[in-house]
Amino acid sequence: MTQFSANLGFLFTELSLPDAIRAAARVGFDAVECHWPYDVFAQDVRAALDETGLPMLGLNTVRGNAGENGLSALVGRENEARAAIDQAVDYAAAIGALNIHVMAGFSSGVDAHDCFVTNLEYACEKSAQHGITILIEPLNHHDAPDYFLQTSAQAQEIIEAVSADNIKLMFDCYHLQIMEGDLTRRLQKLMPIIGHIQFASVPERSEPDQGEVNYTHIFQTLSALGYTAPLGAEYKPKTTTIDGLKWMETL
């Protein structure tokens, strides 16, 4: 049976993060994940996780200044990027989070690639001390124009360049359907380097039981591939989170 993780960056956003964790547990999610939890005391998040028994699958490094979308591929911003990585590792370790998504930012070119690889090497070394995996995620050029990491091939090249045991691909079906399509074959090909999978409808990024992607097929494909970890529901509800959860019974 497919397991699901509630992405609390988009779901139950009317609640505090600890209460959102409790709400996710009440409606049957198997895990949770978040974006930027840093304004919430880590002990309060950890208490909610312990209370519900839900694992926290991951969190993101901070975006940076207003209008930015990550720091780790920005040449000349290495000190800020590493401070963001340190912050994420400390918080993730405190709450028992399994993964950290290191955000690249808006940049391009060879120097940006080298900068990203070097910062990821740092992130992998720091996080390995806590058994945490580093994730990188291609983002589509409609929602994140000029984001450094846009394709799965680019992500694979970076992962190979970093060459650490604890770096993986965040395979977001929404972003990769927009950028590349052919999700079934990409999942089959990339499974050895996938660390987490997220989903939402395309193109609306709403509940997954609509739009152009057949998630019943995607979930069956993942089951056939032996992927058993919870899949991240990272979508924007059309109305309320609760009203939009019918897909959990039908997909």
pLDDT, tens digit only, all 251 positions of the chain = 899 999 999 999 999 999 999 999 999 999 999 999 999 999 999 999 999 999 999 999 999 999 999 999 999 999 999 999 999 999 999 999 999 999 999 999 999 999 999 999 999 999 999 999 999 999 999 999 999 999 999 999 999 999 999 999 999 999 999 999 999 999 999 999 999 999 999 999 999 999 999 999 999 999 999 999 999 999 999 999 999 999 999 99
- Concerning whether 137 is annotated as a catalytic residue, the answer is yes
Q: Which of 248, 220, 222, 250 is nearest to 235 (CA)?
A: 248
Residue 39 pLDDT: 98
One DSSP character per residue, 176-221 reads HHHHT--HHHHHHHHGGGEEEEEE--TTT-S-TTSSS--HHHHHHH
**pLDDT for the residue 1:** 86
Catalytic residue among 125, 157, 180, 234: 234
Determine the pLDDT at residue 81.
98
Q: Which amino acid is at 204?
A: E
Report the C-alpha gap between 124 and 140 in whole angstroms: 25
Domains of the chain: 4-250 (3.20.20.150)
Q: Rounded to an integer, what distance in angstroms lies between the CA atom of residue 136 and that of residue 109?
A: 17
Q: 60: which residues sit within 8 A by CB, 6+ positions away?
A: 34, 35, 36, 88, 100, 101, 103
**Residue of 68, 137, 160, 212 marked active site:** 137
